[in-house]
Structure 1
């Protein structure tokens, strides 16, 4: 379900929306008998959108459809490595 949503409007960015949605985690049996749990979360950020609410619904729907197709095709789900990126001169 939807975990959070934030709207905003500025002169520079126009009408904006950020939304976060998750689905039930994937639980898989590992060869050693233990279970691996992979959370599933999709984040959509729209900037300068003329129809941010409808567009976000479409992006969430399409994003999950692509993910589900990828998973159904046998694509492995691996834990992503996290990297911290520092922005030294944001504009």
Structure 2
């Protein structure tokens, strides 16, 4: 059975409008894709600039935080995970 999920970043947009931490956001996106499509694996990597790091306290203007969630083969198979991560680093 073929299932569809909103494309062009709409899943990320839906979850990112909620007040939450970045780690939870990456997990929610991965689980939504996994539930809708039932693939062998899902990998979500988010790189973001946090306003709190720029505006107050730390004041690190170029500060970026990277989080990831791996499900299925991306979690279970180190070679698959490694290949995925190397591909996104080169892009």
TM-score (norm 2): 0.26
- Name the structure, 1 or 2, with higher relative contact order (CA <8 Å, separation 6+): 2
Give 1 or 2: higher helix fraction: 2
Give 1 or 2: higher strand fraction: 1
TM-score (norm 1): 0.26
